[in-house]
Structure 1
C-alpha cells in the first residue's frame, strides 16, 4: 500500500473529518501536526501547496484537502491510489 501522510492542526474540523474517513477505512497514516511546529509548517509550504490544512498525500501524490479525499473515496479512486502497483 502507498503510504498516507496528512498535515493537520489540532483545532481543525476538516482535519478530524479526514482522519475519521481514513480510520473508517482502516487505513494507517502518518500525521504531521503543524501547530507549534515551525519546521513542519515550512516543510509543508515548501511542497508548493495551499497553506491550509488538512493536506493529504498518498505516496508523493498530493490529494489535497478533505473534500478532495472524500471525492476520491466516493468515486472509488482512493482504493486504486492505495494499491502498491499504482503509478502515482
Structure 2
C-alpha cells in the first residue's frame, strides 16, 4: 500500500469524514495535525499548490485534494486502485 498522508486540524468535520473513509477502506495513513499558523499547515499549502483548507490528502506523493475530492474519487471507483498500488 502506498504512503498516505492527510493534513487535518482538530474539530474539522471534513477531516473526520475523510479519515472515516480511509479507515473504512482499511488504509493505513499518517495524520498530520496542521492547524492555522503552524509549519505543518504551511507545508500542506505548499504541497497542495496553494489550497489552504483541510483536509489535504496525498496518496503515494500524489495530491488527491480535500474531503470532497476524496469522496468523489471513491464514488468513481478510483480510490481503491490507488490504495492498492505498489
SS in 2 for 1:81: helix
CA RMSD of aligned residues (A): 1.5
Counterpart of 2:14 in structure 1 is 14
Q: Once the 2 structures are TM-superposed, how far is the Cα of residue 36 of structure 1 from its aligned partner?
A: 6.7
Q: How many aligned residue pairs are there?
A: 85
Q: Secondary structure at the match of 2:43?
A: helix
Contact kept, 8 Å, 2:27 with 2:83, in 1: the verdict is: no
Q: TM-score, normalised by structure 1?
A: 0.87
Q: Stretches of 4+ moved more than 4 A in 1?
A: none
In 1, Cα distance between the equivalents of 2:42 and 2:12? 18
Q: Which runs of 5+ in 1 are unaligned?
A: none
| Stretches of structure 2 lacking an aligned partner (at least 5 in a row) | none
